A and B are shown apart, each in its own frame.
Chain A
């Protein structure tokens, strides 16, 4: 579904990715793990069309290079970004409904709302509240919900556990698994190794902009060298 070949990108003047090659097949959860500053966020930004790149990124066979960010979203690539980037003064409901804005004119464009409320019942209780008044965990749920409203085929999550109570991290990762089971492919970037590898099928280890290891998630999780050398654990 997603095929990345020889990808290099700079972020704020620094070379953040160098020759990254990565593949995600339909229906998988693929985790990209690595220490802070390894280039994980830049990788997702590159796929979403937010940074200039060298190399190739193909989504369902279509080259994403030079495609504008909003068009990449419309092609079916959803990103839940670092920091969530909600619209703070709009209500929870408006944040969600705007996710379907680009699909105006199509019937059933608000249908994913049912799924979102099923995954995150708390959001339904807070529909009229401004997004900025939600707790960190609720904001993360809303960011995932907003991305689901765009009806993505590939959902990319940038550190969904960041700034969230440990109890909620499990809830959110459980929701990610359910989202995959509903047919959405997932590319997950995480600093928390154990939790990410638990739900992933395969994983890539990123270190200073390069892929240094790849394989089934269970194998990576069991490899002591990974913990020591690349993740500082």
Chain B
């Protein structure tokens, strides 16, 4: 491998890694806040991608312009999922752990089935966007603009999440995460905090989905493959850790990119899951885990 190839592969890994990081951040946020694993996380991303496709097909609106619309849709959708399903699952008297697992697992299967029903199984893609087929050449390293924009937006969204965590609402979120019973003593409605947490988690994965739709195919199963990588990322970074999700996302992106070159592209996930096994064996709490 020449130096140029190494840089090119590293650049590709970096761009995908930032997307992985944002997807994982949404998952980690919800888990850290309330110990619920959202198994429908990938499906929320898939819905965001279909939303982009449908709006683009109907109106020709560029994905970049759709970003605030679809992100807001996902934010509200996340809140609705909490209010309609998760809050009830938290309130059951028996087998709460099982119920919490199956409620989001069932939701994932439902969304996937519904997407298959509505849009069919074939791959769709959004074409002729502002950024399609354009790229930036930096010292011989080639950055496709859709991927570059996606990475930049994901990084910005990440910065947004960190800013939120420094606000008073962010402190209330942290307080709820530390003692969900005690926040009632200071007049905080934990259901509202949980719902907003779901909104933020879904909004984050929605932003990733919108940007991904600019260069990636859309199909009913697209979310599942990203969600698998997100679980690895969250496990590597440490459950509930935002900074961990960022570092781990970048690492996973690089591992995947280099595995694809060293072995072959169809085997790129071997490296990712190899990392997962190593984490489970040697550092189960992840790099920055608080558990």
**Residues of A that sit less than 8 Å from B by CB:** 48-50, 68-74, 78-79, 81, 85-90, 94, 97-99, 101-104, 146-147, 149-150
Contact = CB atoms under 8 A, between A and B. Distances in A.
Contact of B178 (A49, A81, A88, A149): A88
Contact of A85 (B168, B172, B179, B188): B179
A86 B184 CA distance: 12
Given A48-B184, A89-B174, A102-B187, 20 more contacts: A68-B184, A69-B185, A70-B184, A73-B185, A81-B182, A81-B185, A85-B182, A87-B175, A87-B182, A89-B178, A90-B174, A94-B171, A94-B175, A98-B168, A98-B186, A99-B186, A101-B186, A101-B187, A102-B186, A103-B187
Contacts of B172: 98, 101
A86 B181 CA distance: 11
26 contacts: A50-B181, A50-B184, A70-B184, A70-B189, A70-B190, A71-B187, A72-B184, A73-B184, A73-B187, A85-B185, A86-B182, A87-B178, A87-B179, A87-B182, A90-B174, A90-B175, A90-B178, A94-B175, A97-B171, A98-B168, A98-B175, A98-B186, A102-B186, A146-B185, A150-B185, A150-B186
Interface in B159-184: 168, 171-172, 174-175, 178-179, 181-184
A58 B182 CA distance: 22
B183 A70 contact: yes
Contacts of B181: 50, 85
A81 B171 CA distance: 21
Contact of B189 (A68, A89, A94, A97): A68
Contact of B188 (A48, A49, A89, A102): A102
Given A101-B168, A104-B168, A149 B186 contact: yes
A150 B187 contact: yes
Nearest to A147: B185
Contacts of B188: 70, 98, 101-102
Interface in B68-92: none
Given A68-B189, A70-B190, A90 B183 contact: no
Q: Which of B171, B184, B187 has the most CB of A within 10 A?
A: B187
A99 B184 CA distance: 10
Given A68-B189, A70-B190, A85-B179, A90 B184 contact: no
Contacts of B185: 48, 69, 73, 78-79, 81, 85, 146-147, 150
A97 B174 CA distance: 13
A70 B185 CA distance: 6
Contacts of B168: 97-98, 101, 104
A209 B237 CA distance: 49
B185 to A, nearest CB: 5
A73 B189 CA distance: 10
A74 B178 contact: no
Nearest to B184: A69
Nearest to B189: A70
Contacts of B171: 90, 94, 97-98, 101
A65 to B, nearest CB: 16
Contacts of B175: 87, 90, 94, 98
Q: Which of B172, B182, B189 has the most CB of A within 10 A?
A: B182
A78 B186 CA distance: 8
Q: Which 6 A-B pairs have CB atoms at the shortest separation, nearest pair first?
A: A102-B187, A69-B184, A85-B182, A73-B187, A70-B184, A87-B175
A160 to B, nearest CB: 15
Contacts of A147: 185
